[in-house]
């Protein structure tokens, strides 16, 4: 890891990319890190492509991650992960949801969806940990748990304990009641296990 930790979160609008980045930033701030984030959203509404930069460390001057310097690429959607792989440093890691969520730009015929984005990333030499976060979330009863599954996956790839991040996740959902908190706890642990087992 460099002096600062650079995390790029990418996906499709409605997947919780922005929320996940916020929770990561809050966890870093709670530990006394200087943290800056930015959203670079093509169309932040449901279905549009979304990316969010987060940088934290002793002193962060800019939220923007420069190409080739991201420590972690958190890909909520496989093709989006492939599209942003150039942002990773050579020894960085891509944590990828294998579920295909075809963005409108593909449906409109503006772009072709790659046949196997994960294989393409691996071919380019990227270290990829891939698992189906969407199926895991559905198995836990709610597709919206996908972003918590992804947060669980990044839990062991941060310069602080995964438990700190889990605490931030649970705090976020506290007001929604014990059932939702418990669902998110299970989703986080499932994501953590999936990333370890992939």
Domains of the chain, by residue range, sit at 5-197
Q: What is the Cα–Cα distance from 40 to 49, expressed in whole angstroms?
A: 9
**2, 71 contact by CB (below 8 A):** yes
The number of angstroms, rounded, from the C-alpha of 31 to the middle of its chain's C-alpha atoms is 20
Q: Any idea which of 33-37, 88-92, 106-110, 162-166 has the lowest mean pLDDT? A: 106-110
Question: How is the beta sheet containing 5-12 ordered, strand by strand?
Answer: 34-41, 49-57, 5-12, 70-75, 88-97, 127-131
In the three-class reduction of DSSP (H, G, I as helix; E, B as strand; rest coil), residue 179 is classed as helix
Q: What does the pLDDT look like over 76-131, one tens digit per residue?
A: 999 999 999 999 999 999 999 998 876 666 666 667 778 899 999 999 999 999 99
Domain 5-197 fold is Pyruvate-ferredoxin Oxidoreductase; domain 3 (3.40.920)
> DSSP readout, 107-143?
HTTSSPPPS-HHHHHHHTT-EEEEE-HHHHHHHTT-G
pTM across the whole model = 0.91
């Amino acid at each position: 890891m460099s002096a600062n930790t650079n995390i790029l979160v990418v996906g499709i609008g409605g997947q919780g990319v922005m929320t996940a980045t916020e929770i990561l930033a809050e966890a870093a701030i709670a530990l006394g890190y200087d943290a800056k984030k930015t959203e670079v959203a093509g169309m932040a509404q449901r279905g549009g492509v979304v990316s969010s930069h987060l940088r934290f460390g002793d002193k962060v001057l800019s939220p923007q991650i420069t190409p080739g310097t991201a420590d972690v690429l958190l890909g909520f959607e496989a093709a989006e992960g492939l599209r942003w792989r150039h942002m990773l440093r050579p020894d960085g890691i891509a944590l990828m949801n294998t579920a295909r969520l075809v963005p409108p730009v593909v449906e409109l015929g503006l772009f072709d969806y790659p046949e196997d984005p994960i294989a393409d990333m691996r071919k380019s030499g990227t270290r990829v940990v891939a698992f189906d976060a969407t199926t895991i979330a559905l198995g836990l009863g709610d597709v919206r748990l996908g972003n918590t599954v992804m947060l669980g996956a990044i839990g062991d790839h941060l310069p602080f304990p995964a438990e700190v991040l889990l605490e931030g996740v649970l705090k976020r959902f506290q007001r929604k009641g014990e059932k939702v908190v418990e669902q998110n706890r299970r989703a986080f642990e499932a994501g953590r296990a999936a990333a370890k087992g992939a």
